């Protein structure tokens, strides 16, 4: 079982697109250019890249192009031209700046909000994070400790993931949400951190991963898993402790990732955005708007369906069913 978190035979070499995103990515969506489902397009002679998942003729793209600032617009033009050549409709999901697409005549709408924390100012003091502060104190009284990843943890991490998955619908989602099977390659790429919280007997109760972006000066929260009967403060303690660690080691920004805008009851069953937003709000982040960009306004409903397909590799019907 430990092999689940060891680099698989034939895995992609360390570096590549994950390192490019860690260096040049500007938002918490950027690292997902290296997701296993994404078909990457190298741009501006390899100095930049973008990528997509094919769904119903759409190129569902996580965020914007990744390139040095002075080459971004060239990379954007090259990427859109490549999609035309491949007879795909461009769909840019969760871009931070809509202006380059408005300028190109695209229809743009607000689609999500990213929860961002400026770490030099991060503190658990004050009323805005009081609930997290109390959870941290409770966890410490209970003997919980936050640990970086070590190979001895692998079996427990996999077991926790299976237990967590059994309580959800539709298997593991994909696209800008990593899966357990992705972790080995991510750790080998050197642009992902894995942390866990354990008790005094070495039992792990929860774990999470953080992806690097913005030249290593930022982290984005990715996978979160906990035991069904984990102590209540375990996950709050884990996230707060890693945020404090990053602050103290000079990391400037932390993203708790993006949360979709409400899309109705069915969408909420597939991805519980309201409860997720409420949970992240406990950390008092700054919410930054993220946008959907498609060529024409009438395409927006079809684009949203394509995005759903990118997140649900087993299909929407499967995504609405409880895991067995």
> Residues of CATH 3.40.630.30 domain(s) within the chain?
115-288
Indicate the average pLDDT of the chain.
89
Residue 315 half-sphere exposure toward CB, CA atoms < 13 A: 3
pLDDT of res. 314:
58
Cα-Cα-Cα-Cα dihedral sign, residues 267, 243, 1, 34: positive
Q: What count of other Cβ atoms lies within 10 Å of the Cβ of residue 36?
A: 12
pLDDT range class, residue 11, cuts 50, 70, 90? very low
Global pTM value:
0.89
The fold of 115-288 is Aminopeptidase (3.40.630)
Q: What is the pLDDT of residue 100?
A: 97
- Does the structure show a pLDDT above 60 at 15? no
Interatomic CA distance for residues 68 and 100, integer angstroms: 16
pLDDT confidence band for 262 (50 / 70 / 90): confident
Q: Is 315 or 243 the better-scoring residue by pLDDT?
A: 243
pLDDT, tens digit, 9 for 90 and up, residues 82-100: 999 999 999 999 999 999 9
Q: Which two tokens stand for residue 293?
A: 């960009």
Domain range 14-113+290-319, CATH architecture: 3-Layer(aba) Sandwich (3.40)
- For the ranges 60-74, 174-188, 255-269, the maximum mean pLDDT occurs at 60-74
**Short-list 246, 266, 265, 264, CA closest to 255:** 246
The residues that bridge with 95 in the sheet, in sequence order, are: 291
Q: What is the mean pLDDT of residues 185-193?
A: 92
- What is the tens place of the pLDDT at every residue in 208-249? 999 999 999 999 999 999 999 999 999 999 999 999 999 999
């Amino acid at each position: 079982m430990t092999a689940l978190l060891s680099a698989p035979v034939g895995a992609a070499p360390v570096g590549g697109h994950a390192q490019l995103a860690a260096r040049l990515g500007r938002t918490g969506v950027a690292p997902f250019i290296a997701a296993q489902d994404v078909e990457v397009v190298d741009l501006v002679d390899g100095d930049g890249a973008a990528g997509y998942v094919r769904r119903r003729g759409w190129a569902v793209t996580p965020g914007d192009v990744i390139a040095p600032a002075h080459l971004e617009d060239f990379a954007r033009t090259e990427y859109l031209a490549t999609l035309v050549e491949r007879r795909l409709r461009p769909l840019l999901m969760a871009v931070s700046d809509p202006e380059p697409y408005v300028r190109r005549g695209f229809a743009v709408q607000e689609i999500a909000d990213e929860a961002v924390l400026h770490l030099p100012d991060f503190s658990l003091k004050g009323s805005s994070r009081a609930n997290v502060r109390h959870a941290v104190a409770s966890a410490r009284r209970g003997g919980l400790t936050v640990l970086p990843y070590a190979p001895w943890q692998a079996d427990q991490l996999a077991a926790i993931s299976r237990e967590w998955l059994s309580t959800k619908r539709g298997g593991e989602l994909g696209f800008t949400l990593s899966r357990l099977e992705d972790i080995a390659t991510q750790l080998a790429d050197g642009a992902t951190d894995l942390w866990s919280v354990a008790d005094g007997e070495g039992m792990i109760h929860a774990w999470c991963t953080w992806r690097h972006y913005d030249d290593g000066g930022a982290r984005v929260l990715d996978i979160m898993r906990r035991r069904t009967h984990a102590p209540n403060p375990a996950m709050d303690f884990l996230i707060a402790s890693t945020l404090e660690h990053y602050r103290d080691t000079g990391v400037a920004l932390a993203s708790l990732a993006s949360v979709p805008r409400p899309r109705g009851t069915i969408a909420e069953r597939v991805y519980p955005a309201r409860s997720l937003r409420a949970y992240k709000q406990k950390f008092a982040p700054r919410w930054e708007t993220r946008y959907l960009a498609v060529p024409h306004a009438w395409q927006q409903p079809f684009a949203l369906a394509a995005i759903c397909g990118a997140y649900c590799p087993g299909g929407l019907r499967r995504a609405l069913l409880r895991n067995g």
